[in-house]
A and B are shown apart, each in its own frame.
Chain A
Amino acid sequence: MKKLVIITILVQILSLSTAAYDFLGVKWPGKNPVVQYWFSEQGCEDVTDEWQYMHESFDVWCDVPSTAIDCQFMGMTEVNQVAKDDVQVLTFAKGNEWELGPNVIAACYIWSNSIKDIVEYDIIFNNKDFNWSSSGHPDKMDIGHIATHEVGHALGMDHSSVPGSVMWPTARLGDIANRVLHPDDSAGISALYPRTNNNNRAPVFVSNPVTDAIAGMKYTYDVNAIDHDGDGITYSLKVHPLNMRIDSLTGNIIWYPKFLDLHISHNVTVLATDEMGKSSEQHFQVTVTDLVVYTIDDTVDIGDTLYYEVFVTPMDEYGVLAGNIELNYNEDQMVILDVDTIGSIISGATSVHNITKDMVKFAFAGAEPFSGEGVLFRIKLLVFNEFCGRALTLPLKTAFFNDGIPVATTKDGTVFMPCGGGYQVDGKVLYSSNNRGVEAASLEIVELNKKVVSNKDGFFAFSDIPHSCLPYTVHTEKDSGDLRDAITAYDASFILRHVVGLHPLTTYDHQKASADANGNDMYTAYDAALILRYILEYDDGTEIGTWKMAPEDTTLKQVTGPMHNVIIKAYLVGDVSGNWRDNLGNTKRSSTPQIASVYKSPFEACDIVVKKDTLKGYKSMVSIKDVSKEVFAGQIELTFNSDKYTVHAVKPGPLLNGFLSMHNVKDDRVLIAYAGTVPITQDGDLMQVELRPVGAFIPGDTSLNSSLIDRCLVNEFKDQQISIKEPLIGARLVSTNITSIYPNPFIHTVAIEYLVKTQQQISLGIYDLRGRLLSMLVQESKKPGLYKVVWNGKTSYGMPISSQIFIVRFQSGKEAKNTKIYKIQ
């Protein structure tokens, strides 16, 4: 101990005087810090034995005898990114996973919570730009060489001024010398985490004492202890019975108990002492008994009988002439066929037996004393099939020899009947709404720890399943992802229609559950709103996009043969319509008729109000036409040049009155989603998008018109179904109609814009819900063009009207269209 302390002090003094090794200034906290590490599963592309050298890169540091730091491998992980995530991973980065440029070879990211304590680290190797070797290839980086250096940093070591040390700051291709520590490195890690009396850990016993001994027989117990500091251990006996010995190096205890030791509990204390003199004690008692009648754990196959043998330890010293033994069994588990002494050490004696419903009674007697060790008698039994795989105990109730003195100790045995097996259990994971196969679901037979993954048809198969009379549990789960565009605004419309009683969520099992976006067992408009927010890429932490199994745990009753067609249903929270995988491939798509077209008008200059100022901006109308089916919902993604413009407003058009609609601006995209209960059945305007220039307003700026509708869904049909038109001159002049009503709801005034395609008679009036005309705003012949009229919320006679819903009736020629507007206080 003294020696080690002196060495440690010398090392510290040397470190200060020579300034060879150095420290980062942050270190792992605690007396005996344990540095954990994981390896990323994706590994290195260039070698197959990288993990061996990575392990060694930790071992060389933590195995230094005079250091108190420990390294602990935690296992493999899917994590392959640098992040503060409690997983300290060593990973080889490929492609875009590597972000430090082409000349950086490896890096260690170190997290600290203050100046002093390291809390986490990750080490990342550049497998994008560099080839790695584990054999010192002259043109490649050696994994062990580089890893040992980086691990040194992860432990808190800085560069050393000693050439040739691991922490020396330069290297060459193909170097392998740093796989092992230089004395300077060992001195450094010992100085950073010195092991002293304060943090030296005593050995820990890991062996269980043998507490039974038999008079006249050799007693042995292999004591085993481990030392977490890596010290050598010596063993000694502090308290022990006469003649008990222990090997100080191996810990093997040997003792020959005498008959005088019978029926006495002997106290034993074993000491395990490390190199620094720290000891641990293990206390136990050894009880010495005499003859032991025992059975050996045995096995029987299904349908076979078992010769179950009852043994006895040596009885040479005893002069045994006779004896009787009783053994219990459970008649529900087995049937006893016979008892015999064929081949036993008392085969020449007279023996009798009696088999009752729960007991085997056996007695023997001879003229000369018996000697030796071995089988006394054997029981022929048959175990019932349903107990396969279970351990059945046959307790020895009594065992007497001669006239009952000495009394034998008994040890019970068990019968174990292995099950048959090799059975296949298979089935499918199916999507609840359309019975399409669910791919990549993970299934596990919990009791067997057997795991499989479903294929693209949802098919799974467990092979080599053992026979079992007990149930197995199949746990099924699936990671989030694999959404396949199943979650759309159309799903939100389902919920809204359910809420108002138009469309109960009973089309398929679990449809309601799939609508429960926030997992609170309620199905409200809030769930619909959450779905729209999910589509718009808000992160509300909901369950949308989460796969659920129904049930998560499927019970397989007795598996006594192959089992097929086990069906497990799955659904996806958020896919209320249940169309997951319907919109994949060509089958559904090609047979789906086009139900509408979405397009946008060219951006044109407009006035926009920013606080109290009116500025110049640009506006474009996103519209829908050729509506051939009911449109309950839709999504639009518009891309614009965010360097030049910002989004000022996205205003719902008249078609979306009564719709739940939202938008979100993400970088250079405007995401729009809308869902409603009363469908759109006619052409018209969906949204007006207003942009502001980042710099000065440029009249006639046409670059805006290169902005695109990148993605567009009508109901659940993908954009490929929709003809998306680039801005066309006059594209909006496709029909005579109202193009926008803004604001709606309104407080004081509302502006109504309308288009006229050909010259015709136009009338535009405001009516109340009883059909009474309140104000006629337009009633004249109009030439083709875009018009705007403002209503001040008063009657034709100037009378103010209180808050309510009004009908805007727009009539062109003989065709009339009604739209609702809302006045609020």
Chain B
Amino acid sequence: MVSKRAFYFLFICVLSLHATTMYELSLKNLSTGSDMVVQAKVTAVVKQWNPQKNMIYTYVRMNIRDDLIGDDEDKEIIIKLAGGQIGQTKLFVEGMANYKVGEENMLFLFTDPKNLKAFQTLGMYQGKYELYLDENNVTRVRQSSSGHVKLVSREKGPIEKGNDLTLQEFKTKVLQYIHSAQKERKGE
């Protein structure tokens, strides 16, 4: 009986999977391709129908703790994701990251093309890194694991993701990539 339950449990665990094909992004891709790179904490998650009542969006309200490119600390941002469940109706879009109130993340963001006041994560789940404490109480980061997508790789060999770096190491690396890209643009 127990094993049967366990089987059903495992089976149910894979129910909310969906369908997206996208490029596999390295930490450098994320750092140089984002409009905004922030450390932020989730304060609210709201699911809403659009005014036409034909799309469900999930809006995540976050408070910025650290803004690596700009100077928007303590400000609020809204992350917009397609998908969510309202009542019995559910919309899946594979590759979207999940958010919980209270969790803290490093986020690589671009401005939503249809709502300039909202942002999306670059490469969907790939643009979200969760903060966690290791056994020595050191804060580290790890990419969100909800990426059941078909990844297309542009590069041969392993791709640097920055998983399990300490938060400080991670930020330092991201800033190095950003500054290098800025220098390249200036032709230095």
Residues of A within 8 A of B (CB): 22-26, 82-85, 96, 98-115, 123, 141, 146, 149-150, 152-154, 158-159, 168-173
Residues of B within 8 A of A (CB): 11-12, 14-25, 29, 33, 52-56, 82-83, 88-95, 110, 112-114, 120-124, 126, 148-154
User: What are 18 of the A-B contact pairs (CB < 8 Å)?
Assistant: A82-B55, A84-B53, A84-B55, A100-B120, A102-B122, A104-B21, A104-B123, A105-B152, A108-B93, A110-B18, A110-B19, A113-B90, A123-B19, A154-B19, A159-B148, A169-B148, A169-B149, A172-B152
In the complex, which of the residues A24, A98, A101, A170 contacts B151, with contact meaning CB atoms closer than 8 Å? Answer: A170
Residue among B19, B23, B82 having the largest count of chain A Cβ atoms under 10 Å: B19
Query: Judging by beta carbons under 8 Å apart, are B23 and A103 in contact?
Result: yes
Residue among B18, B55, B124 having the largest count of chain A Cβ atoms under 10 Å: B18
List the A side residues contacting B16 at CB < 8 Å.
24-25
Known: A24-B16, A105-B22. 12 other contacts (CB 8 A): A23-B14, A83-B54, A102-B122, A104-B123, A107-B93, A110-B18, A110-B92, A150-B21, A153-B18, A154-B19, A158-B148, A168-B150
List the B side residues contacting A123 at CB < 8 Å.
19
List the A side residues contacting B114 at CB < 8 Å.
96, 99
In the complex, which of the residues A25, A107, A172 contacts B12, with contact meaning CB atoms closer than 8 Å? Answer: A25
List the A side residues contacting B122 at CB < 8 Å.
101-103
List the A side residues contacting B149 at CB < 8 Å.
169
List the B side residues contacting A171 at CB < 8 Å.
21, 150-152
List the B side residues contacting A82 at CB < 8 Å.
55, 82
Query: Judging by beta carbons under 8 Å apart, are A101 and B150 in contact?
Result: no
| B144 shortest CB reach to chain A, Å | 15
Q: How far is the CA of A266 from the CA of B54 in the complex (A)?
A: 59
List the A side residues contacting B150 at CB < 8 Å.
149, 159, 168-171
List the B side residues contacting A100 at CB < 8 Å.
20, 82, 120, 124
Query: Judging by beta carbons under 8 Å apart, are A104 and B55 in contact?
Result: no
Known contacts A83-B52, A158-B14; A104 and B153 CB within 8 A of each other: no
| B119 shortest CB reach to chain A, Å | 10
Known contacts A22-B14, A115-B15, A172-B152; A109 and B83 CB within 8 A of each other: yes
Q: How far is the CA of A109 from the CA of B83 in the complex (A)?
A: 8
| B87 shortest CB reach to chain A, Å | 9
List the A side residues contacting B15 at CB < 8 Å.
24-26, 115
List the B side residues contacting A111 at CB < 8 Å.
89-92
| A160 shortest CB reach to chain B, Å | 11
Residue among B24, B90, B113, B150 having the largest count of chain A Cβ atoms under 10 Å: B150
Query: Judging by beta carbons under 8 Å apart, are B88 and A113 in contact?
Result: yes
Known contacts A99-B120, A100-B124; A169 and B18 CB within 8 A of each other: no
8 residue pairs, one from A and one from B, having the closest CB atoms: A153-B19, A25-B15, A108-B19, A83-B54, A104-B22, A103-B23, A107-B20, A110-B92
Known contacts A85-B54, A100-B120; A146 and B21 CB within 8 A of each other: yes
Q: How far is the CA of A103 from the CA of B122 in the complex (A)?
A: 7
List the B side residues contacting A113 at CB < 8 Å.
88-90
List the B side residues contacting A96 at CB < 8 Å.
113-114
List the B side residues contacting A85 at CB < 8 Å.
54
List the A side residues contacting B55 at CB < 8 Å.
82-84
Q: How far is the CA of A22 from the CA of B112 in the complex (A)?
A: 33
Query: Judging by beta carbons under 8 Å apart, are A99 and B23 in contact?
Result: no
List the B side residues contacting A107 at CB < 8 Å.
19-21, 93-95
| A13 shortest CB reach to chain B, Å | 15
Query: Judging by beta carbons under 8 Å apart, are B14 and A149 in contact?
Result: no
Q: How far is the CA of A707 from the CA of B12 in the complex (A)?
A: 54
Q: How far is the CA of A141 from the CA of B23 in the complex (A)?
A: 11
| B24 to chain A: closest residue by CB | A170
Q: How far is the CA of A115 from the CA of B12 in the complex (A)?
A: 9
| A153 shortest CB reach to chain B, Å | 3
| B108 to chain A: closest residue by CB | A101
In the complex, which of the residues A98, A108, A172 contacts B18, with contact meaning CB atoms closer than 8 Å? Answer: A108
| B15 to chain A: closest residue by CB | A25
List the B side residues contacting A172 at CB < 8 Å.
152-153
Query: Judging by beta carbons under 8 Å apart, are A103 and B19 in contact?
Result: no
Query: Judging by beta carbons under 8 Å apart, are A105 and B113 in contact?
Result: no
| A797 shortest CB reach to chain B, Å | 58
| A643 shortest CB reach to chain B, Å | 9
Q: How far is the CA of A150 from the CA of B124 in the complex (A)?
A: 17
In the complex, which of the residues B17, B56, B110, B112 contacts A158, with contact meaning CB atoms closer than 8 Å? Answer: B17
Query: Judging by beta carbons under 8 Å apart, are A109 and B92 in contact?
Result: yes
Query: Judging by beta carbons under 8 Å apart, are A108 and B94 in contact?
Result: yes
| A117 shortest CB reach to chain B, Å | 10
Known contacts A100-B120, A105-B152, A173-B152; A150 and B19 CB within 8 A of each other: yes
Query: Judging by beta carbons under 8 Å apart, are A101 and B120 in contact?
Result: yes
| A768 shortest CB reach to chain B, Å | 50
Q: How far is the CA of A103 from the CA of B52 in the complex (A)?
A: 28
Residue among B21, B88, B151 having the largest count of chain A Cβ atoms under 10 Å: B21
Query: Judging by beta carbons under 8 Å apart, are B91 and A110 in contact?
Result: yes
| A646 shortest CB reach to chain B, Å | 16
Q: How far is the CA of A99 from the CA of B57 in the complex (A)?
A: 12
| A153 to chain B: closest residue by CB | B19
| B54 to chain A: closest residue by CB | A83
In the complex, which of the residues B19, B110, B148 contacts A101, with contact meaning CB atoms closer than 8 Å? Answer: B110
Q: How far is the CA of A98 from the CA of B113 in the complex (A)?
A: 8
| A121 shortest CB reach to chain B, Å | 8
Q: How far is the CA of A171 from the CA of B95 in the complex (A)?
A: 16
| B150 to chain A: closest residue by CB | A169
List the B side residues contacting A141 at CB < 8 Å.
152
| A108 to chain B: closest residue by CB | B19
Query: Judging by beta carbons under 8 Å apart, are A149 and B21 in contact?
Result: yes
| A207 shortest CB reach to chain B, Å | 41
Q: How far is the CA of A98 from the CA of B11 in the complex (A)?
A: 33
List the B side residues contacting A110 at CB < 8 Å.
18-19, 91-93
| A341 shortest CB reach to chain B, Å | 73
Query: Judging by beta carbons under 8 Å apart, are B124 and A101 in contact?
Result: yes
Query: Judging by beta carbons under 8 Å apart, are A108 and B20 in contact?
Result: yes
| A173 to chain B: closest residue by CB | B152
Q: How far is the CA of A172 from the CA of B150 in the complex (A)?
A: 10
| B103 shortest CB reach to chain A, Å | 22
Q: How far is the CA of A153 from the CA of B121 in the complex (A)?
A: 23
Known contacts A153-B18, A169-B148; A109 and B91 CB within 8 A of each other: yes
Q: How far is the CA of A152 from the CA of B122 in the complex (A)?
A: 25
Q: How far is the CA of A99 from the CA of B113 in the complex (A)?
A: 6
